[in-house]
Each structure stands twice: as structure tokens, then as C-alpha cells.
């Protein structure tokens, strides 16, 4: 079997799916071996995923971030990296199930939106800013996805979920709120960086920092929403459910910024809409 884009996508999708099953199974059984195998499986998926990015970059001789498919592959890798980092730092696997499901669904969508070959880069994207702008943004998206997972789990938690071994999932002293907040702060810093890099890049490419292109405007919207989060949390004292709901709204805006631009009537001429 040759390493076609399709093979590689499936090659990452399968371990991600297995990882999701293993992380899910943790909620039901008390097997200790599950703990490690789930993380290893997610790591395996990430390895294939990264390999796919590298192969594509070499084959096309350009950064593989142009098409929707390429961006989905990148996003899945970013989610896996950020989640594994969180697992390592917080010593908790409580977000393992939603994160692995996120990776698997992203790869599944990538499989459906497969483009058979790389698309040539137009002159405007051939810039030193292209890679940092996109990579920073996608790590930001991934961090906010982790925050979304944390909110999701947080909102479901008060309902009676039967946990055999809560400690196995939650780790030692996991504080979901602080995890959520950490992910948002990380994501917000990256959103800010990506946004400002984009403005500087636009200036050097077209002579304008900002032209109210719909994608620009929507990335401003997501930035404003998470800025509101910071004000409400750190100054307004918002905690708990309200804050989690705000994160869900903020993440919905992120997703719309990423995937919904073709739905906007104003985005026909935009350089940002994925084909």
C-alpha cells in the first residue's frame, strides 16, 4: 500500500478513533492499562498525522496549509499536541475522550473533503508570515477547542454521571476551572498573536493592516468574545456555568470563523475562504 493522502488520513483516523474508544472506556472500567494505552494510541495518531504534513510539504514543496483538507489535517495535529501537553501538565485524562473524538472527527471530515493533490500557492501567500500566521492560529484554535472540551465536561458534570474510578480520569487534583482558564489564556494569547501577525502581513503584502474582510472581522469577533471572557472572569468574578457557556459561545464563533465563511454574503471576494 502506497502512502497516498487517503492512506495517511485513514492511518491517522484509525488510531485517533481507537484512542477515543480507550479514553471513553476509562469512564466505565477501572483498568489501569487503559490509561497508558489511550495516550499511546493518541500519540500514534499524532505521529501519522505529523508524517502526513511533512510528506505533503515535501511533495508539494510548499507549506501544506492552503486547502480546507490541509488545514483540517493541521488542526487535528494541533489538537492532539495541545491535549497531550495538557494531559502531561495537569496529569489528567478527563478531557481525553472529547479531545480524541475531536481529532477523529476532524480527520473524518478531512477524509471526506480530501483534495487529491496540493493546490498552487498564489503570490500573496508566498510570504515568511504564512507559516507562523497559520500555525499560531491553529494552535490557538486547538487550545480553545480544549477549553471547549473542558466547558463541555464541566457543564455535564453536575448531572449524575457514574464514574467507576473518577481518580483515573481526573488525575490527582484536577481543577477543571483552572484547566479551562489556562486553555483560554493560552488560546487568547495565540489569537492575539495570529491576528496582529495577519495585520502586519497584510500591510507588507497590500499596504493595509485591516480591510474588514469578513474573516478578519470574524477573527476580531472571536478575539472580542474571549476578551470579554477575560474581563468577566478576572474583573467581574464570573465563575462556573456562566463562564463555561461563554466559552462555548466563543468557540462556536471560532468554528464559524474557520468553516463558516462561505455562508456569508460578504465573503465572495475574500482571500480567506477555503475552497
Binding residues for other proteins, total number by CB under 8 A? 52
Residue 26 Cβ, how far from other proteins at the closest point, in Å? 28
Helix axes 240-259, 214-230, angle to 10 degrees: 170
Decide whether 158 or 237 has the Cβ nearer to other proteins.
237
Is residue 139 within the footprint of other proteins (CB under 8 A)? no
Quick count: other Cβ atoms within 10 Å of Cβ 72? 24
Is residue 273 within the footprint of other proteins (CB under 8 A)? no
Q: Of the candidates 218, 243, 247, 254, which one interacts with other proteins according to CB under 8 A?
A: 218
Decide whether 131 or 224 has the Cβ nearer to other proteins.
224
Q: What's the chain's Rg over C-alpha atoms?
A: 19
Compute the distance between CA of residue 199 and CA of residue 209 in angstroms, rounded to an integer.
Answer: 4
**SS3 category, 148:** helix
Residues between 179 and 208 with contacts to other proteins, criterion CB under 8 A: 182, 185-186, 188-189, 192-193, 196, 199-200, 203-208
Compute the distance between CA of residue 143 and CA of residue 191 in angstroms, rounded to an integer.
Answer: 10
Compute the distance between CA of residue 186 and CA of residue 22 in angstroms, rounded to an integer.
Answer: 27
Residue 71 Cβ, how far from other proteins at the closest point, in Å? 16
Compute the distance between CA of residue 206 and CA of residue 23 in angstroms, rounded to an integer.
Answer: 47
Decide whether 167 or 208 has the Cβ nearer to other proteins.
208
Provide the grid cell at 201.
Answer: 502581513
Of 251, 254, 247, which is closest to residue 220 (Cα–Cα)?
Answer: 254
Residues between 88 and 117 with contacts to other proteins, criterion CB under 8 A: 116-117
Decide whether 40 or 88 has the Cβ nearer to other proteins.
88
Is residue 235 within the footprint of other proteins (CB under 8 A)? yes
Is residue 47 within the footprint of other proteins (CB under 8 A)? no
Alpha carbon distances (Å) from 93 to 6, 118, 146: 30, 36, 12
Is residue 158 within the footprint of other proteins (CB under 8 A)? no
Footprint on this chain of other proteins (rule: CB under 8 A) = 116-124, 126-127, 129, 182, 185-186, 188-189, 192-193, 196, 199-200, 203-210, 212, 214, 217-218, 220-221, 224-225, 227-228, 231-232, 234-237, 239, 264-267, 275
Amino acid at each position: 500500500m502506497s502512502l497516498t493522502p487517503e492512506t495517511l488520513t485513514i492511518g491517522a483516523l484509525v488510531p485517533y478513533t481507537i484512542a477515543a474508544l480507550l479514553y471513553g472506556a476509562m469512564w466505565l472500567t477501572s483498568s489501569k492499562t487503559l490509561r497508558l494505552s489511550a495516550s499511546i494510541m493518541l500519540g500514534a495518531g499524532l505521529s501519522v498525522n505529523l508524517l502526513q504534513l511533512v510528506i505533503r510539504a515535501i511533495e508539494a514543496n510548499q507549506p501544506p496549509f492552503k486547502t480546507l483538507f490541509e488545514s483540517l489535517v493541521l488542526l487535528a495535529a494541533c489538537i492532539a499536541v495541545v491535549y497531550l501537553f495538557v494531559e502531561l501538565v495537569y496529569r489528567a485524562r478527563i478531557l481525553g475522550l472529547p479531545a480524541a473524538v475531536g481529532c477523529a472527527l476532524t480527520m473524518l471530515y478531512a477524509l471526506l473533503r480530501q483534495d487529491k493533490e496540493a493546490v498552487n500557492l498564489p503570490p500573496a501567500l508566498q510570504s515568511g508570515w504564512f507559516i507562523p500566521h497559520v500555525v499560531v492560529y491553529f494552535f490557538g484554535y486547538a487550545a480553545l477547542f480544549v477549553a471547549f472540551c473542558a466547558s463541555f465536561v464541566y457543564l455535564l458534570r453536575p448531572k449524575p454521571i457514574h464514574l467507576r474510578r473518577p481518580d483515573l480520569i481526573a488525575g490527582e487534583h484536577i481543577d477543571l476551572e483552572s484547566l479551562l482558564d489556562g486553555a483560554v489564556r493560552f488560546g487568547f494569547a495565540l489569537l492575539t498573536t495570529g491576528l496582529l501577525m495577519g495585520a502586519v502581513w497584510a500591510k507588507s503584502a497590500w499596504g493595509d493592516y485591516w480591510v474588514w474582510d469578513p474573516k478578519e472581522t470574524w477573527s476580531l469577533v472571536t478575539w472580542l468574545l474571549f476578551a470579554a471572557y477575560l474581563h468577566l472572569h478576572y474583573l467581574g468574578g464570573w465563575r462556573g456555568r456562566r463562564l463555561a457557556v461563554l466559552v462555548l459561545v466563543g468557540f462556536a464563533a471560532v468554528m464559524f470563523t474557520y468553516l463558516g465563511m462561505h455562508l456569508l454574503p460578504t465573503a465572495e471576494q475574500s482571500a480567506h475562504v477555503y475552497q
